[in-house]
Amino acid sequence: MNNDFQRYMDKELNQLEEEGLYNKIRTLEGPQGAWVKIDGKDVLNFSSNNYLGLANHPETVKAAKQALKNYGIGPGAVRTIAGTMELHNELEKKLAEFKRVEAALTFQSGYNTNLAVIPSIVGKGDVIYSDELNHASIIDACRLTAAKVKVYKHGDMNSLEDILQEKREGKTLIVTDGVFSMDGDLAKLPEIVELAEDYNAITLVDDAHGEGVLGSHGRGIVDHFNLHNQVDIEVGTFSKAIGTVGGCAAGSKKLVKYLKQKARPFLFSSAVTPPDVAATLKSIEILSQDDSLVQKLWDNGDYFKTNMKEIGFDVGNSQTPITPVMLGKAKLASQFSAELFKEDIFAQSIGFPTVPKGKARIRVMISAVHSKEDIDYALEKFTEVGKKLSIIN
Ligand SMILES: *Cc1c(COP(=O)(O)O)cnc(C)c1O
């Protein structure tokens, strides 16, 4: 073993501990849900992106079991070599219908989808315009290209237009999160689409936190703003409201045809397993048929946010059920989270590099499966801990 390397890792890990940025990963002793079992006790779950409870829904679990019977567990190899299972094709057709686009292509995760799409469409001589709060998977995907990356101020359309005016050759891509996951605010998609028209740019919106949340039946941000066929590429993930795992890119038939030839995570990494695909299909079916889960999610989110504001917490500028409880220092945020855990509430603190330094917070993820009693219990405990740590009066 290389001793210098061991010492280097010790130093880095110690530094994270000192700054309150060391990630402590909790172990769940059962399925995802409104309550989860951790360290032998039931705790109210405010930390998952399982917005609609589909991660352990009887119908999605049943569909996964059936797929296991019909298709086995493994995909064999990448789709271009082993062939593609009809289940994957069926999901892609269903997704296109749900998103009201011509076609969709699935990947192993949302992260992989950005890594697949962005380097396939821009390269040397091209320019990417990226919101400063875009998700890490977008940042990493941009780094994988030889394109020039220009970052605009968060949600600031003047800042975007200023840099769009600079002279350039080659292709132009504007890329943004749909819902910003740590703050819960929305991209100004109508303005972005307009600017893209004015400056001949390609548009990509990563709708990870919009699917199952925004628009009719949770169709996402494009539906929310009624911008169908005006955004070139919608990137999505199944690991949030959809409750499973996987990612997708949606747009024109030509886009999907192109990505099947060019996207490296499609060409060099195998597809997700049949049970995942079947469960995802079921989630999309559930959403298409009935939007009561989406309605419940919004009702719960509004109830929690309104009350937290009244109690005196700073809950930022969220336009969605995501509720950041702003605390500032990472150490304070992790202390707050630890105090909540003592009271049987699992709400992780979030610090740098997931959010900017000095903007640490507890990010409360309300879901459709929380009851009013659950939320009232949380409001009571947030108040107690907030007073104890002198955050509210
Ligand atoms: C969560 C998230 C991803 C990653 O999705 P996975 O399917 O978990 O890889 C990508 N983009 C955004 C904006 C996200 O919020």
Residue by residue, DSSP assigns 91-160 as HHHHHHHHHTSSEEEEES-HHHHHHHHHHHH--TT-EEEEETT--HHHHHHHHTSSSEEEEEPTT-HHHH
Q: Is 32 in the pocket of ligand 1 (CB under 6 A)?
A: no
Average pLDDT over residues 351-366: 92
> Phi/psi at 131 (nearest 5 deg)?
-65, 140
Q: How far is the CA of 275 from the centre of ligand 1 (A)?
A: 20
Kindly state the percentage of the chain with pLDDT values over 90. 93
Average pLDDT over residues 95-116: 98
Ligand 1 atom closest to the CA of 235, numbered from 1: 11
Q: Which of 213, 216, 212, 190 is nearest to 203 (CA)?
A: 190
The pTM of this model reads 0.95
Average pLDDT over residues 178-187: 96
Q: Which of 341, 297, 349 is nearest to 320 (CA)?
A: 297
Residue 380: pLDDT above 90? yes
Give the pLDDT confidence score for residue 61 in this predicted structure.
98
The amino acid at residue 384 is: E
For the chain, domains (ranges, CATH) are 22-51+291-388 (3.90.1150.10), 58-289 (3.40.640.10)
Q: Is 236 in the pocket of ligand 1 (CB under 6 A)?
A: no
On the question of a cis peptide bond just before residue 356, with omega within 30 degrees of 0, the verdict is: no
Average pLDDT score, the chain: 96
DSSP notation for 201-268: -EEEEE-TTTTTTSSGGG--HHHHTT-TTSSSEEEEESSSTT-S--EEEEE-HHHHHHHHHH-HHHHH
Residue scoring higher pLDDT (219 or 352): 219
Residues 360 and 26: beta-carbon distance below 8 Å: no
Q: How far is the CA of 4 from the centre of ligand 1 (A)?
A: 34
Q: What is residue 271's DSSP assignment?
A: P
List pLDDT tens digits, range 303-354. Answer: 999 999 999 999 999 999 999 999 999 999 999 999 999 999 999 999 888 8
pLDDT band for position 137 (cuts 50, 70, 90): very high
Those residues whose C-beta lies under 8 Å from the C-beta of residue 69, and which sit 6 or more positions away, are none
Q: Is 363 in the pocket of ligand 1 (CB under 6 A)?
A: no
Residue 93: pLDDT above 80? yes
First to last CA, the chain: 54
Q: Is 239 in the pocket of ligand 1 (CB under 6 A)?
A: yes
Q: Is 247 in the pocket of ligand 1 (CB under 6 A)?
A: yes
d(CA 280, CA 57): 11
Q: Is 237 in the pocket of ligand 1 (CB under 6 A)?
A: yes
Q: Is 356 helix (H, G, I), strand (E, B) or coil?
A: coil
Average pLDDT over residues 132-146: 97
Q: How far is the CA of 209 from the centre of ligand 1 (A)?
A: 8
d(CA 54, CA 49): 10
Residue nearest to atom 6 of ligand 1 (CA): 110
Residue 221: pLDDT above 90? yes
d(CA 314, CA 392): 10
Those residues whose C-beta lies under 8 Å from the C-beta of residue 364, and which sit 6 or more positions away, are 46, 304, 322, 323, 324, 325, 347, 378
Best residue among 137, 205, 242, 350 to mutate for probing ligand 1, ranked by most atoms within 8 Å of CB:
137
Ligand 1 atom closest to the CA of 181, numbered from 1: 15
Ligand 1 atom closest to the CA of 49, numbered from 1: 1
Positions marked active-site: 181, 209, 240
Residue 91: pLDDT above 80? yes
Give the pLDDT confidence score for residue 242 in this predicted structure.
98
List pLDDT tens digits, range 241-264. Answer: 999 999 999 999 999 999 999 999
Residue 21: pLDDT above 90? no
Residue 39: pLDDT above 80? yes
Q: Is 334 helix (H, G, I), strand (E, B) or coil?
A: helix
Average pLDDT over residues 286-304: 97
Q: Is 209 in the pocket of ligand 1 (CB under 6 A)?
A: yes
